[in-house]
Chain A
Amino acid sequence: MERQVNQKGWLMVLPAILVVALNAVIPLMTVVNYSVQDSFGNNQFFWAGMSWFVELLHSERFHAALGRQFIFSAIILLIEIPLGIIIALAMPRKGWGVPVCLVLMALPLLIPWNVVGTIWQIFGRMDIGLLGHTLASLGINYNYTQEPIAAWLTVIIMDVWHWTSLVVLLCYAGLSSIPDVYYQAARIDGASRWAIFRYIQLPKLKRVLLIAVLLRFMDSFMIYTEPFVVTGGGPGNSTTFLSIDLVKMAIGQFDLGPAAAMSLIYFLIILLLCWIFYTVMSLEDDEPQGGVL
């Protein structure tokens, strides 16, 4: 009897399995297939074993791109998460300011990635860009096509401009869900502004912050389009992040084997780091959320 129920169960999840297989498992397996072979023209493939993985893990080029990627994601998280919280705290709770702020906040999120890249590419140019030209006339050498620091600044500011809104909107939603009585109780208890943030707002924001950190980490760790449009990975290799490096390898050089091995390692790193973030941030959540609130 029980066995029959189980069989039916499989039938029910079959559509989901098919969809996941088509859009995730099969492409992933293709990549696995490439990663253990060497390819030549004429569609000839040779077994390469783990050699691409070994080679990649010892490759300085990969280490450098991975290092840049970590530094970039760390900077992005360190800026966007606190900034997002601060902006969300400063946003109005009621009145006409609410829709105005929400629309303004949502605007950057509605712009396609490559358009964002183009906007900042032009904005930062020293000859015609508003930002670049202003800085240049102030005597600051802001040439992001030649100066690694200027290039990094441009990419970081662009990402902050583009994605802080996401953190703001998530945090704002979290803050709006806190009932007024909590603030009233805090005032009666004589809590300082900091104590209110630390003991009321932050705990209630924890869940949305987890989502915000995960999303921003994953997205920034996989960033491709904007730096590709703005800097093309340069000057030199200074803004060549993992995705850009991967595309160079796979499409520029047509090294399918190493590129596939790199994709898999890349994927595993993201998976591992997300798991770590998730575990650490939900560590104290073991007790069930009971009661009315």
Chain B
Amino acid sequence: MARIRLQNIAHSYVGDTGNLDDFALKKLDLTWDDGGAYALLGPSGCGKSTLLNIISGLLYPTRGKVYFDDREVTTLPTEERNTAQVFQFPVVYDTMTVFDNLAFPLKNRGVDGKEIRRRVTELAEMLDLQNDLKRKAQGLTADVKQKISLGRGLIRKDVNVILFDEPLTVIDPQLKWELRSQLKKLHKQFDFTMIYVTHDQTEALTFADEVVVMYEGEVVQVGTPEELFNRPNHTFVGYFIGSPGMNILPCTVRGDRAVVGKHEIPLGRIYKESTGETKLELGVRPEFLTLSTSSDQGLPVSIGRIDDIGHLRVAQVSLDGLPLSVVVGENEILSGQSGHLVFDTPHANIYADGHLQRGEAV
């Protein structure tokens, strides 16, 4: 087990051209603590898998260094890094039995037969595979194959980190929950460092203690699920996390008020006014807006479609033509009405060119 440190990592698939646009990973400084459960969240093509492959050694970074504890491993080949990886599509050795699959990494490392049997039996019980040990891996279902894949990582006790590359993509939805909670339980038991790549926020938020959000080759925020929700560092985080995502409105700032069109919204903090070149935006989550048709406090909006997304209802409203989503309670709001919108001041954030502004207390 190890603490993993990435220092100024950048990677380009076409070589170091000097042109920043060629880089799949722009510049990363990250430390993953020993025994932590991390999620790497971002849309397809943001560089998550590239980063993962740099950690496992399947790729060597164009720039920067990788450390496991204090040892530099930047150009160490995969087989000497002692990492484990679970891929998007389950990789099993078809012709081997489940037992042999789990035993494979140990056999390759010359572990003694008795010890192999003991460890495989023990692990199979934890993974609920004890009844499948003698079966050929070929005919098994995707979720069992994925468990085997994970098992081949867990079987090595000295593994530095276990990497998950969107491991639940091909699993049926009802089994996803089961596997995810099993994974969390295993993490507590084994205390490995785990890095879990996904583009599914639910997966990231339920699995991880800390989530790293990536966007276009850069890390835009590292934080607990709560931090990501309450104070997104970047408009992308606000939009990507949460369902529906954060409302982003172009605005200007006057002291402790945001000006959207002809309306003023209190912010509770003082922000620097726009210099004209930076683009200012107001971000507020649908959960922190209150819509009412009876009171006349707040901003006048017209109410459009109302979507029932199971556990809550979301109203699409329009503020002088600007679309916003608002979470509303049961049955009190009807579409086609006009209403008033109140912003929850502490949760209204100001972004300059996408980045969160801190502001000063009044």
Contacts and interface: CB of A to CB of B under 8 A. Distances in A.
A288 B108 contact: no
A203 B105 contact: no
Contacts of A200: 93
Contacts of B85: 184-185, 188
Contact of A191 (B104, B138, B170): B104
A221 B270 CA distance: 90
B139 A287 contact: yes
Contact of B56 (A188, A284, A289): A188
- Interface footprint category on A: 20 to 34
A189 interface: yes
Contact of B79 (A181, A190, A290): A190
A192 B145 contact: no
A187 interface: yes
Given A189-B152, A199-B96, A179 B89 contact: yes
Interface in A176-203: 179, 181-182, 184-185, 187-192, 195, 199-200, 203
A249 to B, nearest CB: 46
Contacts of B208: none
Contacts of A203: 93-95
Contacts of A185: 85, 87, 91, 149, 152
Contacts of A13: none
A189 B83 contact: no
A188 B140 CA distance: 22
A179 B109 CA distance: 24
B187 interface: no
A290 B92 CA distance: 12
Interface centre among A199, A291, A292 (most CB of B within 10 A): A291
Contacts of A289: 138
B105 A182 contact: no
B138 A181 contact: no
A180 to B, nearest CB: 9
A182 B91 contact: yes
B90 interface: yes
B134 to A, nearest CB: 13
Contact of A190 (B109, B145, B170): B109
Interface centre among B77, B94, B152 (most CB of A within 10 A): B94
Interface in A198-242: 199-200, 203-204
Given A191-B108, A284-B95, A184 B142 contact: no
A192 B105 CA distance: 11
B119 interface: no
B119 to A, nearest CB: 15
B269 interface: no
Interface string B149-163: 100110000000000
Contacts of B56: 184, 188
Interface in A120-169: none
Interface in B93-135: 93-96, 104-105, 108-109
Contacts of A199: 93, 95-96, 104
Interface residues of B, number: 32
Interface string A254-293: 0000000000000000000000000000001001111111
A293 B89 contact: yes
B149 A290 contact: no
Nearest to A189: B105
A60 to B, nearest CB: 45
A15 to B, nearest CB: 38
Contacts of A292: 89-90, 142, 170
B186 interface: no
Contacts of A293: 89-90
B79 A188 contact: yes
A191 B337 CA distance: 66
A203 to B, nearest CB: 4
A291 B144 CA distance: 11
A289 to B, nearest CB: 7
B78 A188 contact: yes
Nearest to B85: A188
A286 to B, nearest CB: 9
A288 B139 contact: yes
Nearest to B83: A188
A184 B139 CA distance: 22
A200 to B, nearest CB: 7
Contacts of B26: none
B315 to A, nearest CB: 40
A189 B154 CA distance: 11
Interface string B66-90: 0000000000011100011101111
B58 interface: yes
B91 A181 contact: yes
Contacts of A195: 104, 108
Contacts of A181: 87-89, 91
B231 interface: no
B101 to A, nearest CB: 9
Contacts of B89: 179, 181, 292-293
Nearest to A190: B108
Given A187-B78, A203-B94, A291-B170, 12 more contacts: A184-B58, A184-B78, A185-B87, A188-B78, A189-B152, A203-B93, A287-B139, A290-B140, A290-B141, A291-B140, A291-B142, A292-B142
- Please list the 7 inter-chain residue pairs (A to B) with the smallest Cβ-Cβ separation, ordered nearest first: A287-B139, A190-B108, A185-B91, A189-B105, A187-B78, A203-B95, A181-B87
Interface of A: 179, 181-182, 184-185, 187-192, 195, 199-200, 203-204, 284, 287-293
22 contacts: A181-B87, A181-B91, A184-B58, A184-B85, A185-B87, A185-B91, A189-B105, A190-B79, A190-B109, A195-B104, A199-B96, A203-B93, A203-B94, A204-B94, A289-B138, A290-B138, A290-B140, A291-B141, A291-B170, A292-B170, A293-B89, A293-B90
Interface of B: 56, 58, 77-79, 83-85, 87-91, 93-96, 104-105, 108-109, 136, 138-142, 145, 149, 152-153, 170
